[in-house]
A and B are shown apart, each in its own frame.
Chain A
């Protein structure tokens, strides 16, 4: 069974701080996605990374896919209260379309 381990599980920071969330696996994924989920809602796709070593930026969020396509990180610069939520990484296995393996998530709380 392929697993995606996310760390930390919980993160509580002050507005303006920087943070990094990690997503690690012993398996290779064809692509990796990051989602954010708010209470009572479904996850919302933030980004997809496909190529080993790829870096994508979305405003203050920077996503990186490991060279070996086994791990990924999400870095948030100058966090804001609106960044609060559950951040989930999900890996896709080539050929298993529609079957994403999700990490358990990092619950981020940004206090004003």
Chain B
């Protein structure tokens, strides 16, 4: 089974621009979560989508948004980029079946640099 894939792997943007990151979950996984990882804050939860609906949201400003498509693929968007948005953005999928224990399978991440 193919793992979680994320595109692009690396991205350089300028302050004020917007960016869209893409994630394809493991086949059959219906839950997709997004995390931001920085050296200072570690891994922080952004949001989770299940069956095209946002089910949970972390404590991030409205500039961060996401969506999920009917094939479970997900995108996240960051508008009006700030220098502090530079981070590794990780996508994780989960089967979320009955009795599952919220195990997450992560992609390799997208390294976003804002200049």
Contact = CB atoms under 8 A, between A and B. Distances in A.
A44 interface: yes
Nearest to A4: B42
Interface stretch (B13-21, B79-87, B101-109): B101-109
Q: How large is the interface on A (under 10, 10 to 19, 20 to 34, 35 or more residues)?
A: 20 to 34
A93 to B, nearest CB: 9
Interface residues of B, number: 27
Interface in B70-115: 90, 92, 94, 96, 101-109
Contacts of A104: 41-42
Interface string B18-47: 000000000000010101000001111100
A20 interface: no
Interface string A17-49: 000000000000011010100001111110010
A48 B33 contact: no
Contacts of B92: 42
> Chain B: interface secondary structure?
strand
B108 A98 contact: no
Interface in B42-82: 42-45, 48, 50, 55-56, 58
Given A98-B48, A105-B42, A48 B101 contact: yes
B43 to A, nearest CB: 4
Given A42-B90, A103-B42, A98 B106 contact: no
Given A41-B109, A42-B108, A97 B31 contact: yes
Contact of A98 (B41, B50, B90): B50
B4 A98 contact: no
Nearest to B102: A92
A102 to B, nearest CB: 4
Given A42-B108, A98-B56, A105-B42, A50 B31 contact: no
* A-B residue pairs, 10 tightest by C-beta: A42-B106, A98-B48, A104-B42, A102-B43, A92-B102, A31-B101, A99-B56, A98-B33, A98-B31, A43-B106
